[in-house]
Structure 1
Amino acid sequence: MKLSWKRALRPAAALAGVLALVLLPATTAAAAEQSAPRSAAAASSGWNDFSCKPSAAHPRAVVLVHGTGGNSVDNWLGLAPYLVNRGYCVFSLDYGRLDGVPFFHGLGPIEDSAGELSAYVDRVLAATGTDEVDIVGHSQGGMMPRYYLKFLGGADDVHTFVGIAPSNHGTTLLGLTKLLDLFPGLEDAIGGSAPALTQQVAGSGFLQRLNDGGDTVPGVEYTVIATRYDQVVTPYRTQFLEGPNVRNILVQDRCPVDISEHLTVALVDRVTFHETVNALDPAHATPANCFS
């Protein structure tokens, strides 16, 4: 009996582990470094530089919102410099931090994280002297701002929202989340420690409230960028939004041989970078392909 009991718990333990690691940045080794020097380096290169003033060509600052288990630096080591080099004022925040957990953020209640985003956007608007920002987010960061837009008045301050591999309608984790139904108390245990994990499970109460009444709000331009090979937010088509102001993009429609998955699609994928800039500046958009 003892052996059978242990075997029965293995799937639950595996699910807890997957949920706990979901969307950790691919640069996990880099997260062991001191955060202050990395932040200083980002600022010195024009990223998170609060003296930056948007230009006539790019009149809105871009706020980057990391994913679950990510942070304001590691999640954006590729895209932030890409945008800075093209003349954008770029900012990123840490949100959803838990006491005693360094580097790995986005774990707290998503409603609270949306409030943190609201305050950060206000700070960026005050520093740049502009009326609106654009937001680009990855995974939870590509979904959480929708709460800010819908319930916290963010639609008045945001022009364009780009979600990269976003958990818009939750995830099944390739079916692993069904194990939550088989082990009573497991969901409460995980959610009690890191609420954002279970809030992103397909069918959660949080997601039902977020998506009730429609995916979008008026006045904001939405772009969703997804990859067919996403192994975290599954099925990948649940990432897409419906609404009059939406562009849904599948990376493989631009480059059939692109094999980016959930992490690399935001960290290094050139199609994603290209389409992000197209969304931020549609008047000068150019076709994205394997050679972008």
Structure 2
Amino acid sequence: MRLRAIVRSLFATAAVAALSLTGLAAPAAASGADLPPPGANNWACKPDSAHPEPVVLVNGTLKHMWENWLTLSPKLNRAGYCVFAFNYGTLGTAPIADSAAELRDFVAAVRSATGASKVDIVGHSQGGMMPRYYVKFLGGADKVDDLVGIVPSNHGTANPLALAAGWTFCPACLDQRPDSDLLRRLNSGSETPPGPDYTVITTRYDEVVIPYTSAYLSGPAERVTNVKLQDRCPLDPFMHDQSPKDPVVAQWVLNALGRQGPADPDFQPHCLSL
């Protein structure tokens, strides 16, 4: 697909993307909602020495695993990783602490099946922030090697629709307000406790996590890398909702997973061409 066509497609869905965090957009069709994305959930998969940690994919609010990871999951599988995904928290609307407990249990199942001592986690939106609760409060610090957040809501969002949805049916949306009790607790002290390496990938065109810089994490360079897509690929048009399908994002994810430490801040991906 040429870049101009991508731009038209992305901007046409901007409003839907903005509402997907808050739950005001219609959920995806039920068909496929309980199916893993291509390349995921082969419970007989055993990690090899080149890819020792299985990858757990964590979708965002009002998302299910099949649609969220339709593109990235098979890429990770083809690269040699054992890939796993799950649905949680009633399409990610449940309180984030409850969803983090579901993640804890799923990681335990993956580790048991694969024999791996640690997993890598790649999450989108809430799915990039919520695992930090697992790491910090639920014993995940020594069970996660890499945590890669794609447009994560690490410091919440000023999107006013989040509050409206939160008061109706989406406790996770209230948890993702910048001043929420959960985020104050999560971000007090160290935002990036020792254990995992942390990579944040965001886009200047994020219309859901507002401002986009609220995705960034503080911490020492040896275990924290913050990436803005347009710093390396100025013409990258991807916004929040479709960012897991961005081929540039996939390159950053693979870079983070394939090396010691977080993603290389000097990494130069192949950018989209005109």
Structure 2 CA distance for aligned equivalents of residues 27 and 204 of structure 1: 25
Question: SS at the partner of 1:126?
Answer: helix
Query: Which letter maps to 2:215?
Result: Q
Say if 2:235 and 2:272, in contact at 8 Å, map to a contact too: no
- Residue aligning to 1:241: 217
Say if 2:119 is the partner of 1:133.
yes
Q: 1:231 aligns with which of 201, 207, 213?
A: 207
- Offset of residue 64 of structure 1: 0.2
Q: 2:104 aligns with which of 118, 124, 127?
A: 118
Matches within 5 A, 1:45-60: 46-60=39-53
More helix by percentage: 1
Say if 2:255 is the partner of 1:257.
no
Q: Which runs of 5+ in 2 are unaligned?
A: 1-15
Structure 1 CA distance for aligned equivalents of residues 116 and 210 of structure 2: 37
The TM-score normalised by the length of structure 2 is 0.84
Q: Which runs of 5+ in 1 are unaligned?
A: 1-16, 98-104, 181-185
Question: SS at the partner of 2:182?
Answer: helix
Aligned length: 251
- Offset of residue 214 of structure 1: 2.0
Change (3 A) 1:253 1:85: same
Say if 1:23 and 1:70, in contact at 8 Å, map to a contact too: no
Q: 1:289 aligns with which of 266, 270, 273?
A: 270
% identical aligned pairs: 48
- Residue aligning to 2:253: 276
The TM-score normalised by the length of structure 1 is 0.79
Cα root mean square deviation, aligned: 2.6
Q: 1:146 aligns with which of 132, 150, 163?
A: 132
Structure 1 CA distance for aligned equivalents of residues 161 and 62 of structure 2: 18
Say if 1:254 and 1:289, in contact at 8 Å, map to a contact too: no
Structure 2 CA distance for aligned equivalents of residues 202 and 246 of structure 1: 21
Change (3 A) 1:28 1:193: closer
Structure 2 CA distance for aligned equivalents of residues 49 and 61 of structure 1: 11
Query: Which letter maps to 1:289?
Result: H
Structure 2 CA distance for aligned equivalents of residues 86 and 123 of structure 1: 22
Query: Which letter maps to 1:260?
Result: F
Matches within 5 A, 1:1-292: 21-22=20-21, 31-36=29-34, 38-39=35-36, 42=37, 46-97=39-90, 105-173=91-159, 176=160, 190-191=166-167, 193-244=169-220, 245-266=223-244, 268-282=245-259, 287-291=268-272
- Offset of residue 192 of structure 1: 5.6
Change (3 A) 1:19 1:261: closer
Shift >2 Å, 4+ stretches:
17-21, 26-29, 190-193, 283-287
Question: SS at the partner of 1:143?
Answer: helix
Structure 1 CA distance for aligned equivalents of residues 113 and 22 of structure 2: 30
* 1:194-219 deviation line (CA, Å, top 9, x unaligned): 20011101111111111011211112
Query: Which letter maps to 2:46?
Result: K
Structure 2 CA distance for aligned equivalents of residues 35 and 93 of structure 1: 10
- Residue aligning to 2:13: none
Query: Which letter maps to 1:276?
Result: V
Structure 1 CA distance for aligned equivalents of residues 204 and 232 of structure 2: 12
Question: SS at the partner of 2:248?
Answer: helix
| Greater Cα radius of gyration, structure 1 or 2 | 1
Query: Which letter maps to 2:194?
Result: P
Query: Which letter maps to 2:179?
Result: G
Change (3 A) 1:19 1:197: farther
Say if 2:20 and 2:241, in contact at 8 Å, map to a contact too: no
